[in-house]
């Protein structure tokens, strides 16, 4: 079968990193036939690689079968819909879009095309063995009923320099949010992938708590489920070194996912069975320690792109279908809305009301952000070389 003709739009941090992976031969079954950025400083032109400064022209050029959209999130809706309407396969960087209404528009547009093409999202952390192993434990019901979840993911430390790169970052108008929309789509996606969507969300957020930005860089979230399960989700871009500790409290014991292993403090009998049958008032079930060592972080971005290509060529099941990208966006949006309103938000939330509040925030903002656009391209090259996940 012919190679899939691949186009990348947005040659900043992420787009350059993906282009480098393709040029390094890390992905099979595709040829990079076009790139596009509104900046004139595109990478040096290579044979067989058309260059565009207008994405509409690239979409209509006939040079590509698939497009990878690596532009800032506010443009995801417009570019995504144009690409879907042009019958291209689409891989969208996370988040799927800035708000739930934009996600709905993208999904509707995909449905309108008859869903004949492949529409995927870059949730590369779904390839991480920490999470695939945990998902397997949950899906095969080895943990029994899940009763509580705590996830502290505060290792997303970012500097003032980071926020100053790219004028769109960390503004209501340019990005539509902060840590919940930029860094945490990964974790919020994993959260809903592992535990399902909650019915109520309450957010306690710090806006510009650690950085000179107007959006949130600190969040403590409470997710409530109708089955009685509660979950906390804590994140920040201002704490170093930070932690990434996921604790799942289930009928069959406590599972902690952290660093290079999964530790399962396993009840020999479930806590519900023990409670029902014990003739003592104060005893607990016997436990054993199950240590599941985890090696590496999985294939990350390269695996997602390879899966996208394999899905186009051979119908391989997608690791991260774009249709599921709406859930992490809704969790982020509901958390922001909750903090602004000072109340708990019921899900599903009202998408159009949220979109108009967010627009108002952007339109009324007088915040002056520090910008260092000139240096951001050097930074993009560093990012590409570091093959950052």
Ligand X SMILES: NC(=O)c1ccc[n+]([C@@H]2O[C@H](COP(=O)([O-])OP(=O)(O)OC[C@H]3O[C@@H](n4cnc5c(N)ncnc54)[C@H](O)[C@@H]3O)[C@@H](O)[C@H]2O)c1
Site of interaction with ligand X (CB under 6 A): 9-15, 36-39, 55, 70-73, 75, 93-94, 122, 124, 166, 182, 380
Instruction: Please check whether residue 303 is in contact with residue 311, taking contact to mean a CB–CB distance below 8 angstroms.
Output: no
Structure tokens at 235: 């994140």
- The residue (of 72 and 178) whose beta carbon lies closer to ligand X is 72
C-alpha angle 261-267-268 in degrees, rounded to nearest 5 = 120
Compute the least distance from the CB of residue 226 to ligand X, in Å. 31
- Rounded-to-integer distance, Cα 307 and Cα 302, Å: 8
Q: Is the dihedral of CA 275, 276, 282, 284 positive or negative?
A: negative
Residues in a beta bridge with 291: 263
Q: Nearest to residue 329, comparing CAs of 358, 287, 300, 299?
A: 358
Compute the least distance from the CB of residue 282 to ligand X, in Å. 48
Compute the least distance from the CB of residue 143 to ligand X, in Å. 28
Compute the least distance from the CB of residue 47 to ligand X, in Å. 22
- Rounded-to-integer distance, Cα 261 and Cα 248, Å: 14
> Which ranges constitute the DSSP H helices of 61-121?
76-85, 100-112
Compute the least distance from the CB of residue 357 to ligand X, in Å. 21
Instruction: Please check whether residue 97 is in contact with residue 91, taking contact to mean a CB–CB distance below 8 angstroms.
Output: no
- The residue (of 57 and 227) whose beta carbon lies closer to ligand X is 57
Residue whose C-beta lies closest to ligand X: 12
- The residue (of 72 and 198) whose beta carbon lies closer to ligand X is 72
Compute the least distance from the CB of residue 308 to ligand X, in Å. 13
φ, ψ of residue 236 to 5 degrees: the values are -170, 150
φ, ψ of residue 56 to 5 degrees: the values are -60, -40
Instruction: Please check whether residue 183 is in contact with residue 235, taking contact to mean a CB–CB distance below 8 angstroms.
Output: yes
- The residue (of 180 and 221) whose beta carbon lies closer to ligand X is 180
């Amino acid at each position: 079968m012919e190679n899939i003709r691949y186009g990348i739009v947005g040659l900043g941090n992420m787009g350059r990193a993906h282009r480098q992976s393709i040029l390094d031969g890390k992905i099979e079954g595709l040829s990079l036939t076009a790139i596009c950025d509104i900046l004139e400083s595109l990478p040096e032109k290579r044979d067989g690689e058309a260059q565009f400064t207008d994405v509409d022209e690239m979409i209509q050029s006939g040079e590509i079968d698939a497009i990878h959209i690596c532009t800032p999130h506010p443009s995801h809706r417009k570019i995504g819909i144009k690409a879907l309407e042009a019958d291209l396969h689409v891989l969208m960087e996370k988040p799927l879009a800035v708000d739930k209404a934009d996600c709905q528009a993208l999904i509707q547009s995909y449905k309108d095309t008859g869903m004949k093409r492949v529409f995927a999202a870059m949730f590369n952390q779904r390839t991480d063995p920490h999470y695939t192993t945990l998902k397997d434990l949950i899906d095969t019901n080895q943990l029994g009923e899940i009763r509580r979840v705590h996830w502290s993911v505060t290792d997303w430390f970012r500097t003032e320099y980071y926020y100053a790169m790219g004028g769109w970052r960390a503004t209501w108008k340019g990005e539509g949010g902060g840590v919940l929309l930029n860094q945490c789509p990964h974790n919020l996606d994993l959260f809903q992938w592992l535990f399902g969507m909650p019915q109520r969300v309450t957010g306690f957020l710090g806006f510009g708590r650690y950085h000179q930005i107007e959006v949130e860089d600190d969040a403590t979230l409470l997710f409530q489920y109708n089955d009685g399960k509660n979950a906390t989700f804590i994140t920040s871009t201002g704490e170093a070194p930070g932690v990434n500790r996921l604790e799942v409290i289930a009928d069959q014991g406590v599972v902690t996912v952290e660093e290079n292993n999964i530790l399962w403090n396993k009840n020999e009998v479930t806590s519900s069975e023990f409670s029902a049958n014990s003739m003592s008032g104060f005893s607990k079930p016997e436990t054993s320690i199950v240590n599941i060592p985890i090696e590496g972080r999985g294939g990350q971005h390269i695996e997602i792109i390879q899966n996208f290509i394999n899905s186009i060529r051979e119908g391989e099941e997608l690791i991260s279908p774009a249709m599921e990208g709406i859930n992490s966006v809704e969790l982020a949006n509901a958390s922001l809305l909750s903090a602004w309103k000072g109340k708990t938000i019921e899900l599903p939330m009202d998408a159009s009301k949220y979109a108009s509040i967010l627009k108002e925030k952007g339109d009324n903002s007088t915040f002056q952000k520090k910008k260092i656009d000139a240096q951001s391209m050097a930074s993009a090259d560093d990012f590409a070389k570091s093959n950052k996940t």
